[in-house]
Structure 1
């Protein structure tokens, strides 16, 4: 029988669980022995090495491309190609994207276990698609400056590809492009100012993130082609929402940095209260519904909000020695609280 490879920490947890079940009479000694022999501590983490290697490979591809522009010989070659029609480059990028997507899809179908290499090929296809859309925009540009439509086109293209190729990575790019389209579209309609319908960027993205999170929670599972991307949409929607709320708690609904710098932070304390309340709400929801994503986002951003307020209100108003002493006491309290929780769980296991 093939043994399950697990980490040393997981092995200790499983050993404790099997011993507890045996002591409580839930399993006999023979079953406990068989269970104990069904797993072993894994050796070197080759999966993580593969993941990092492919990330480094993609980074090196990008660096290699950027380094071309630092080479004099290459720069002279680029100048000679400067007159190459945009149409030719656009078609070349399209063909390149099709090649990478086809290659990645074929590998995914024939070798589904090669997760990282397959996703790396999809990522190269995404970059080629972005270049194709960019040059397509140059070809059809009429001087209107409404280039946010290109990002909308990328959302549609990536969305279709993510469904057809069943790629979570491309779905991430779909939602990232969706956020960029939202930012540029609202900026275009506000004449490239920082306010749209009286809202600055953090407030706009607070609403955007809330809608995306609500869509992932309540509606996405009803749409069959994208239902399996629900958790990913939920994660990205919460990221948009919580980061935007945190920035809103710092900058308020100000779009002029000079005006914001003249305002005392307690004048915009209500945004901090909103951010803290939403963090508490997600932490409570996650604990009640056993939703790990909501719980962790809620707790992490609750701590971030508390310490942000701590720095905002006390940094300029309290002696530095007292400030850092209060900071030390707060972290000591958190450590004691975490230690009590850990001891309590350890006692229950014992």
Structure 2
């Protein structure tokens, strides 16, 4: 009989579970011994090595491009082609994108289990697509500065490819491109100002993220073509909203730095209160429904909002020694609280 390969940490969890079931008379000693004997220590973590290797390969590729432009000789060489038409770069990056996508499709068809290599190829294709669309924007919209149609094109490309090969990474690119389109579209209609319909960027993205989260929660599960990405959309929508709401709690709905500088933080306290309330509600919802993503995001932003308020209101008002002492004590209590939640055993 084939044994189950587990890491040391996984073995400890499984053995604790078996012991608990024995104590609750849900499992007899003989069956418990059979189950423990079926566990085998996992060897070297090749999967983790593969993931890190592909990440390092991608980072090295980016650094190589940066080095290309920072090297003196190569910079001179690039400058000689400065007058090269944008259409050449556009088509060149498009060809590179097609090349990587073709490799990704072929690799996925032949080796569907090699997720890391497949995702890396698609990621390279996504970067090349972004570059190609950027040069296409230079060609078509050079005098108009209205690039939103280009972002819509990137959303279409990433979305179709993500659905075609069921790539959550490309779906993330789709949602990021959607966010960039939203930002540029609203900026274009406000004459490239910081406010649109009386809302600055943080307030706009708080609403945008909330709408994306609602779409993922209520509508996306009903759409068969994209229900596979429901959890991804839900997490990205929450991150859009919570990051924007946190920034809103700091800067308020101001678009002018001078006006914001003259405002005392207590005058925009209600945004901070809203951020604390939403993040705490999200954490409680996640704990009650066993939604780990909602719980973790809510918990992180609840702590972030609390400590942001802590710094805003106490940094200039109390002695530094007392400030850091209070900070240390509060983090200790936070650690104890987190430990009591994450380490609590079922049935205890």
Q: TM-score, normalised by structure 1?
A: 0.94
2:94 match: 94
Q: Would you say how many aligned residue pairs link Structure 1 and Structure 2?
A: 348
Residue 227 (str. 1) matches residue 222 (str. 2): no
Q: Counterparts of 2:342 and 2:142 in 1: how far apart (Å)?
A: 63
Mapping 1:258-337, distance limit 5 Å: 258-337=258-337
2:56 match: 56
Distance 1:313 1:140, change over 3 A: same
Moved more, 30-39 or 104-113: 30-39
> What per-residue deviation string (whole Å, max 9, x for no partner) do you get for residues 197-221 of structure 1?
1111110100000000000011011
Distance 1:333 1:96, change over 3 A: closer
Mapping 1:1-350, distance limit 5 Å: 1-141=1-141, 143-338=143-338, 340=340, 345=345, 348=348
Q: Counterparts of 1:23 and 1:272 in 2: how far apart (Å)?
A: 47
How far residue 46 of structure 1 moved from its aligned partner, in angstroms, is 1.6
Distance 1:148 1:329, change over 3 A: same
> What per-residue deviation string (whole Å, max 9, x for no partner) do you get for residues 167-195 of structure 1?
11111101111111111111111111111
Structure ranking higher on relative contact order (CA contacts 8 Å, 6+ apart): 1
Q: Unmatched 5+ residue regions in structure 1? A: none
Moved more, 252-261 or 315-324: 315-324
How far residue 36 of structure 1 moved from its aligned partner, in angstroms, is 0.8
How far residue 346 of structure 1 moved from its aligned partner, in angstroms, is 8.4
Q: Counterparts of 1:90 and 1:96 in 2: how far apart (Å)?
A: 10
Distance 1:341 1:244, change over 3 A: closer
Moved more, 81-90 or 290-299: 81-90
Q: Unmatched 5+ residue regions in structure 2? A: none
Q: Counterparts of 1:126 and 1:337 in 2: how far apart (Å)?
A: 41
State the SS of the aligned residue for 1:246. helix
